[in-house]
Amino acid sequence: MTITLRCPVCHEPLAQSLPSSGSGLGCSQNHQFDQARQGYFNLLPGHKKRSKNPGDDKTMVQARTRFLDKGYYQPVADSLAGILSRLSESIENPLSILDAGCGEGYYTERLQQTFPDASVAGIDISKPAIMACCKRSKAIQWLVGSVNDIPVKDQELDVIVSVFSRCDWHEFARLLKPGGHLLVLAPGEQHLLGLRQVIYETVRPYPVDKLLEQLPEHFSLTETLPVQGDMQLNSTDDIMDLLAMTPHYWHVKPSQKEKLANLGALQCSFDMKLYVIQRA
């Protein structure tokens, strides 16, 4: 089973094009989308791009893959998979799951492995990120596209997962079936304190996302779970990869970067919040 897509140009359903025209997708208005040789579909029309290469660049994507594949955030993936296993007991299976802003696919792959019968898709605006996703799994529908205009049919999904990515509540309300679940993972106040203490003189608590405190119509918060742990980073490479995964990467001054690069080891904790939200 696959998730039914819609055309990003006219919003009509997308279906497999005739076999004679290759493994592409097309709509009734004849907008055509070829499958990339890596296996993904690019459903981000040129006129909807705000920049030439939107989203995380290749350097950031590679840093994220190296860091995540070392298992530092495995307890985070365990928490996501665990809560979804519990929720899935009261959802008619097989599930349909979308990872919105999936990055290079670490959590998407874990969810697909936990629910091998589910239809799983991952969408990200970054082409290098989706190309990295294709190396992780062939059992997932990988899409280049925006969370602000998700090329998926209305009420198609049981679950949307958003890990450190932006939420578009209008799109999430359109896509989730009534009673469907949204799992949002966001930083807690003390997230990556050890890293931030090295780069900033004054460290402020991360602001808790106001939107999650005042959810829009159709949504209600059913649970908030802490996801916390300690990491011992024993190499400069791991420390710099962690930096490249965070927004601090953009703000850090060369002198602060050098300070980090000279550490060699860093004790750092992660402090995240997993919000379980249900659509009415």
Ligand X SMILES: C[S@@+](CC[C@H](N)C(=O)[O-])C[C@H]1O[C@@H](n2cnc3c(N)ncnc32)[C@H](O)[C@@H]1O
Residues that bind ligand X (CB under 6 A): 55-56, 64, 101-103, 106, 124-126, 129, 146-148, 163-166
Residues linked to residue 228 through DSSP beta bridges, in sequence order: 271
Position of minimal CB gap to Zn ion: 7
Piece of the chain touching Zn ion by CB under 5 A; list 7-15, 77-85, 91-99, 107-115: 7-15
CB nearer to ligand X: pick between 111 and 125: 125
Instruction: Return the residue of 9, 134, 198, 263 that touches Zn ion, per CB under 5 A.
Output: 9
Residue 7 near which of ligand X, Zn ion, none (CB within 5-8 Å, type-dependent)? Zn ion
| CB burial readout 118-152, b (16+ within 10 A) else e | bbbbbbbbbbbbbbbbbebbeebbbbbbbbebbbb
235 contacts: CB under 8 Å, gap ≥ 6: 264, 265
Piece of the chain touching Zn ion by CB under 5 A; list 27-35, 96-104, 152-160, 246-254: 27-35
Instruction: Return the residue of 3, 5, 25, 27 that touches Zn ion, per CB under 5 A.
Output: 27
Residue 148 near which of Zn ion, ligand X, none (CB within 5-8 Å, type-dependent)? ligand X
Q: State the sign of the Cα–Cα–Cα–Cα dihedral 277, 76, 191, 58.
A: negative
CB nearer to ligand X: pick between 26 and 231: 231
14 sits near Zn ion (criterion: CB under 5 A):
no
Residue 29 near which of ligand X, Zn ion, none (CB within 5-8 Å, type-dependent)? Zn ion
Q: Is 215 helix (H, G, I), strand (E, B) or coil?
A: coil
120 contacts: CB under 8 Å, gap ≥ 6: 3, 96, 97, 98, 99, 108, 111, 112, 139, 140, 141
| Count of H-run helices and E-run strands, the chain | 10, 11
CB nearer to Zn ion: pick between 29 and 148: 29
Residue 63 near which of Zn ion, ligand X, none (CB within 5-8 Å, type-dependent)? none
CB nearer to ligand X: pick between 46 and 178: 46
80 sits near Zn ion (criterion: CB under 5 A):
no
7 sits near Zn ion (criterion: CB under 5 A):
yes
Q: Nearest approach, Cβ of 254 to Zn ion (angstroms)?
A: 47
If you write DSSP's letter for every residue of 252-267 in order, what string do you get? --HHHHHHHHTTS-EE
Burial (Cβ within 10 Å: 0-12, 13-18, ≥19) of residue 190: middle
32 sits near Zn ion (criterion: CB under 5 A):
no
CA distances from residue 206 to 74, 79, 189, 276 in whole angstroms, order as listed: 22, 21, 4, 20
Q: Nearest approach, Cβ of 7 to Zn ion (angstroms)?
A: 3
CA distance 187 to 270: 8
Give the footprint of Zn ion on this chain (CB under 5 A): 7, 9-10, 12, 27, 29, 31
